[in-house]
Structure 1
Amino acid sequence: MTVAQSVAAILAFSVVLGWVRLLLWQRRAPASSRTRGWRLAALLALQPIAGLLLFSTLFPPASAGKATGTLVIATAGAPRFVTTGAGERLIALPEASGVVGAEHLPDLGTAVRRYPDAGALRIVGSGLEPRDQEANAGLAVRFEPARAPSGLIALQPPGPIAAGARFAVTARAGDLADGSAELLDPASRIVDTQPIGSTGEIALSGTVRAAGTTLFTLRLRDGSRARVEQAAVPVWVPASPSARVVILAGAPGPEVKYLRRWATDAGVAPQVRLGVGGGASLADTPPALTMAALAKVDAVILDDRAWDGLGTGGRQALAAAVRGGMGLVVRITAPVPRGWQVLGLSARGTADVAPVTLRADAPSDDALAARRGPGTRDAPASIAGARDTVPELTRQAVTIAGGMPVLRDIRGTVLAASRGSGRGRVALVSLQDSFALVTSGHGDVHAQLWSELVSAVARRQAGPAVQIEAPAFAGQRMAICGAGSLSVTDPGGRGGRALVDPATGAAGCAGYWPDVAGWHHVSGPAARPFYVYPADALQGLRAVDRRDGTLRLVGSGGRTSVGTVEDNRGPSWPWFIGWLLVAGLLWWLERARIGRGGVPVFEGQTEIASRDPY
């Protein structure tokens, strides 16, 4: 029972009790003392009138001109038959197809303007589209969400990546606890796969070897291996200038040899200097370790012997360069003395070495072959090692403290860690024989390892930062922030201007409405491509976005809540004044002598009047 119903019951009981008391007195009183008929009728009538006016004061009904109706809004995913009650009008938005008995309107704003007497909204289905989520005009909202969708319900494509680097794709699947997820390259070869657990979380990875744009595919399968859904995963590898790397070593060795080969294969022209003892060194072009020269270098890779042999001046120059944005990688090749550290990163341990087992780079032989590609003339894919033949490596048995892990082995042991120093970063790595990966036919693992490590610390290339809303869909507004007013070219070569919304302030976001799917290109200083999905793509993900957006709308308003609709009541003061007048009249009539039986008109006789409560 509601509060209003409880108050109404109490008032009705009070009126009935007053009637019973008045009638019992009238029946038991002598005939000469009974109240006149008209007075009794007035007392009986005024009591329920007073109770009704008091109830209307506490719970005023909607006054004339107030919004009293409810619009039932059918959205995508709404059932074919929607039940409506008294005072409710059924409206179907364009995404709700086949709703019986509904009036079809283009958007929520049109419905609100067409029916200004509506005081509330009842949303049925998966929720409002972004265009409608701010068109509720302050009305009370009730949301009856449809059943949670299955399949792909969240997807985070990778951001810009470097050529040859590994990229990550994260996603979430609904109602596929026994299924699996696969990542396919543009040639439809599986490069990664993962079973889907109870949480539905998915994390896959792949590699791209050349600059440009491409589309990978995320495919979901159920427990019977039947395909449930697949979605495009856009990947962009920007064409960037080659990194500038300096390699320093205290002595020649296979580790430096294959490190140099990796840098050359990656398109980097490294400057290498090798110590040969007695203060002599070998170098193609001796690198200058001055502030001016190091300002043009993106990363320096050296071992602990070279670091200690630089002297105070050389170490100070490198430290200053790191604070200016350069990256520094120091390889630990021998036991380190107590208290040894590099720019805040310390290593402590014993003189022993420990075994290292790296995680397989792909879930299957076919996936590994797809990641490796055709190979090169001097290293064809046919001579590459099998997936299960990754050799056991060694590391110096030290613990790196003061940084964030960058590389781990299959047991979770930290092989490399880094920390910030000014605008740059420094890393320590304890691997001693990563070259064995190359000599055993796993050069791809060696290249991936060093690419990840150097990329984690190398100098960041400065440039205009543009944030593009992803995923974007054809026919739906999207935001491009950080570049001001800009031009966008669609896949057909048509250009359009996107103007900044002043309301976005310092973010400088511009609105853009793509009308075709495919790769679009932002031009200007912040030039970059972005992918637009077809209007009917990623239905499960969009259903979740609609539901979450509608729930935020319901929860953000002071008058709105899920499952409740606030009454749109009129003012209570007219009912209060009416109650005061009726209560005053009732009070006067109960105490006045007019209409009392057997009561003399002069003041001396009051005995009978004193026994009459009315």
Structure 2
Amino acid sequence: MNEVNQVHFLNQVDFSNLVGFSLAAIVLLASARLAWQLRAGTLPWPRFLLRVAGQAAAAVLLYLVFFPPLQPGREGALVVLTAGASAPASLAPGDVLVALPEAGDVAGAERVPDLGTALRRHAGRTPVRVLGLGLPARDHDAARSVALAFEAAPLPEGLQALDAPLSVVTGRRWQVRGLATGLAGGRAELRDPADAVVARAELDETGAFTLATPAGLPGQVDYMLQLLNAEDTVTQSLALPLQVRNAAPRRVLLLAGGASPEVKYLRRWAVDAGLRLHSVISLGGGVELGDPPLPITAATLAEFDLVLLDERAWRDLGEGGRATLKAAVRDGLGVLLRITGELTAADRAMLRAWGLQAEPADIARGLRLPGTEHADATLALDAETRAADTAPLLSRRPLALSAADGAALLRAGDEAPLALWRAEGRGRVALWTLSDSYRLWLAGRRSAYGQLWANAVDTLARGTEAAMPELPSHAWLNQRVALCGLPDGARVGAPDGTESALWPDPATGHARCAGFWPAQPGRHALLVDENELPLPVHDPAELPAMAARENQQATLALVSGAGPATATPAPVPGPRWPWFIAWLLMSSALWWLERRRPALNL
């Protein structure tokens, strides 16, 4: 017996024990009542014995109606045809062929409305062989109780996977990732509501693509994803709704030990991005530029979400200032240390005390960042012009960054970390070795420059935004979708204007998840107070490749979770009707015996 069937059997045993104990308790109570009648002299001994024995027999028969004895399952597999499946070349003796509604017409296949019906009609057959593109969501629960074997059919060509955000903060760069097959030499384009190309990417050898663009003004915006073949013909288009929202500006303290182009353009970007920036640039000799200097105290640092400083400002803090800064990090502050010059042994020792290591390394200082190959203005130009545009050469400090519990914040083309961060209490601290990212700005790559620093700020800064509901990137027509992080009063608005209230399942606890079954395709909206989050609902017939891939992956997950399939038939419950007839006859006899006059002294 495989693990899935064993768990199912154990659950059934637990329930059968509960029913058995309940029936036994009922028989004992009934026998006690009869014993009281016997003692009172109103019930003769023969009738007492007959009725007690009859009640016990009726209870046993009723138990067998609910839980008939197991008998060996039938030999042979249950072969299930799904969408895209063709008739198997041959069937082993005893195999049963069934077809789900999504399967085409196959001669000799028994039509069933769902997998659960097939399992009930042909109980005990194992393994269950699934042929085609996989089981739809409707059949996943039924499939968890059996051992599966999956023989996948080739997926349709077209858009097979898509990951796109539904909400983004204004000014932030957002990405669309996807997979499209059958478009060798093709590309993907993202168009704004004015039909202008804002991002373009060639499909790689697997068909994967990534598109990125900064978010504009707040509001509901409809972008368009287009897939083009090698002949520049649009083969598929898909609307991507996006809610652009305002967010509380990040509070950033910039400390620099000297003026530099990097600091100049970093300040300019921070202002353009809407950050609340307080910058202090020391020129030496007590001369400072920018805003008035602030004392480095716990109260001061509590007013900021992120501190950006270089190694000279780091040294100027002194031991007491660094201790105060570290305490603030443990309370949630983010710190980014830009290394722009040589580090002394004392500097490296101080970094090790923070859990970070920056050791000299024999590595090339010049590099080109991945994803900066094209300037912003070349997106709408022809392929020849784009090919002539190259990424600017940047510089880094020759240091090898490491941390026992660290994660890369930025990587070079050789996968070496250019920036590394680690958690310290509730905050995060990072090292940054890129010296001249401003060259991206000068080379016409302001979007890439903004994305570079926006990612750093978003990763390290103290969290200030309220939690947003967790929504999938899309939902399917007539298929349940889980929506989590829901406040009270949340509801979903359909394209026809109707609204459905969402009631979080108490079993989900703090996740506060609720199920929703969309009954019509199109753009739905999650309504929370005065806010509105888009929820696109697709008809599987409109995106057959993506729907097929999701079904296939879900079926593969069911196969891996079910354990190895076996050809040994699992035991199944025997027929219930003989026990029901016996129970009915026994109950009738008891009824007759209870109402029969005691003329015969029974």
Alpha-carbon distance, 1:217 to partner: 4.6
Amino acid in structure 2 at the alignment position of 1:183: E
In structure 2, the partner of 1:250 is 257
Please say which structure displays the higher CA radius of gyration: 1
In structure 2, the partner of 1:538 is 543
Alpha-carbon distance, 1:480 to partner: 1.7
Q: Distance in 2 between matches of 1:65 and 1:419?
A: 59
Q: Distance in 1 between matches of 2:484 and 2:161?
A: 22
Q: Does 1:185 align with 2:191?
A: yes
SS in 2 for 1:339: helix
Of the candidates 481, 484, 492, which is equivalent to residue 481 of structure 1? 484
Q: 1:140 to 1:398 in 2, by over 3 A?
A: closer
Q: 1:484 to 1:394 in 2, by over 3 A?
A: closer
In structure 2, the partner of 1:76 is 83
Q: Distance in 1 between matches of 2:500 and 2:481?
A: 14
Amino acid in structure 1 at the alignment position of 2:191: D
Q: Distance in 2 between matches of 1:63 and 1:430?
A: 70
Q: Distance in 1 between matches of 2:95 and 2:89?
A: 11
Of the candidates 508, 512, 516, which is equivalent to residue 512 of structure 1? 516
SS in 2 for 1:340: helix
Q: 1:220 to 1:424 in 2, by over 3 A?
A: same
Determine if contact 1:231/1:537 at 8 Å carries over to the other structure. no
Determine if contact 1:396/1:432 at 8 Å carries over to the other structure. yes
In structure 2, the partner of 1:328 is 335
- After superposition, give the CA deviation of every residue in 1:203-235 in whole Å (9 maximum; x if it has no partner): 443332344454545544556666554545555
Determine if contact 1:82/1:100 at 8 Å carries over to the other structure. no
Q: Distance in 2 between matches of 1:146 and 1:230?
A: 25
- After superposition, give the CA deviation of every residue in 1:536-591 in whole Å (9 maximum; x if it has no partner): 34322322332343445456557x838x57376899xxxxxxxxxxxxxxxxxxxx
Equivalent residues in 2 for 1:114-513 (5 A)?
115=121, 123-135=130-142, 143-158=150-165, 161-174=168-181, 178-186=184-192, 187=195, 189=197, 191-197=199-205, 199-220=206-227, 229-233=236-240, 235-341=242-348, 342=351, 343-349=354-360, 354-359=365-370, 361=372, 363=374, 368=379, 388=389, 391-402=392-403, 403-410=406-413, 414-439=417-442, 441-461=444-464, 463-464=466-467, 466-483=469-486, 487-492=490-495, 493-504=497-508, 507-513=511-517
Unaligned runs of 5+ in 2: 1-68, 575-602
Alpha-carbon distance, 1:322 to partner: 1.6
Equivalent residues in 2 for 1:70-109 (5 A)?
73-79=80-86, 92-98=99-105, 106-109=113-116
Q: 1:460 to 1:531 in 2, by over 3 A?
A: farther
Determine if contact 2:201/2:209 at 8 Å carries over to the other structure. no
Determine if contact 1:391/1:437 at 8 Å carries over to the other structure. yes
Q: 1:273 to 1:180 in 2, by over 3 A?
A: same
Q: Distance in 1 between matches of 2:88 and 2:439?
A: 68
Determine if contact 1:249/1:303 at 8 Å carries over to the other structure. yes
In structure 2, the partner of 1:581 is none
Q: Distance in 1 between matches of 2:70 and 2:261?
A: 90
SS in 2 for 1:316: helix
Amino acid in structure 2 at the alignment position of 1:546: N
Determine if contact 2:359/2:399 at 8 Å carries over to the other structure. yes
SS in 1 for 2:389: helix
- After superposition, give the CA deviation of every residue in 1:60-108 in whole Å (9 maximum; x if it has no partner): xx99998789876543224489988998876554433555676765444
Q: 1:70 to 1:422 in 2, by over 3 A?
A: closer
- After superposition, give the CA deviation of every residue in 1:126-174 in whole Å (9 maximum; x if it has no partner): 2321112223695676655433433333333347544333334333445
Q: Distance in 2 between matches of 1:250 and 1:487?
A: 50
Unaligned runs of 5+ in 1: 1-61, 371-384, 572-614
SS in 2 for 1:134: helix
Determine if contact 1:365/1:387 at 8 Å carries over to the other structure. no
Alpha-carbon distance, 1:520 to partner: 1.8
Moved more, 245-254 or 408-417: 408-417
Q: Distance in 2 between matches of 1:159 and 1:524?
A: 18
Alpha-carbon distance, 1:291 to partner: 1.2
Alpha-carbon distance, 1:325 to partner: 1.4
Q: 1:433 to 1:79 in 2, by over 3 A?
A: closer
In structure 1, the partner of 2:3 is none
Alpha-carbon distance, 1:478 to partner: 0.6
Determine if contact 2:188/2:209 at 8 Å carries over to the other structure. no
Q: 1:266 to 1:369 in 2, by over 3 A?
A: farther
Q: Distance in 1 between matches of 2:402 and 2:459?
A: 17
Q: 1:248 to 1:104 in 2, by over 3 A?
A: same
Q: Distance in 1 between matches of 2:260 and 2:111?
A: 76
Amino acid in structure 2 at the alignment position of 1:450: W
Moved more, 65-74 or 290-299: 65-74
SS in 2 for 1:313: helix
Q: Distance in 1 between matches of 2:145 and 2:400?
A: 60
Amino acid in structure 2 at the alignment position of 1:498: L
Q: Distance in 1 between matches of 2:165 and 2:136?
A: 25
SS in 1 for 2:452: helix
- After superposition, give the CA deviation of every residue in 1:388-417 in whole Å (9 maximum; x if it has no partner): 365444444444343533234455554332
Q: 1:360 to 1:473 in 2, by over 3 A?
A: closer
Root-mean-square deviation over aligned CA pairs: 4.4
Q: Distance in 2 between matches of 1:421 and 1:312?
A: 18
SS in 2 for 1:319: helix
Determine if contact 1:351/1:396 at 8 Å carries over to the other structure. no
SS in 1 for 2:258: coil
Determine if contact 1:215/1:233 at 8 Å carries over to the other structure. yes
Determine if contact 1:119/1:568 at 8 Å carries over to the other structure. no
Q: 1:401 to 1:561 in 2, by over 3 A?
A: closer
In structure 1, the partner of 2:7 is none
In structure 2, the partner of 1:561 is 565
Of the candidates 514, 523, 529, which is equivalent to residue 528 of structure 2? 523
Determine if contact 2:330/2:424 at 8 Å carries over to the other structure. yes
Q: Distance in 1 between matches of 2:138 and 2:363?
A: 64
Q: What count of residue pairs does the alignment treat as equivalent?
A: 491
Q: Distance in 2 between matches of 1:125 and 1:249?
A: 62
- Residue identity (%): 35
Determine if contact 1:184/1:190 at 8 Å carries over to the other structure. yes
Q: Distance in 2 between matches of 1:119 and 1:390?
A: 61
Q: Distance in 1 between matches of 2:150 and 2:505?
A: 30
Q: Distance in 2 between matches of 1:227 and 1:129?
A: 29
Moved more, 135-144 or 70-79: 135-144
Amino acid in structure 2 at the alignment position of 1:147: P
Determine if contact 1:289/1:317 at 8 Å carries over to the other structure. yes
Q: 1:99 to 1:254 in 2, by over 3 A?
A: same
- After superposition, give the CA deviation of every residue in 1:166-188 in whole Å (9 maximum; x if it has no partner): 33433344566x44441313335
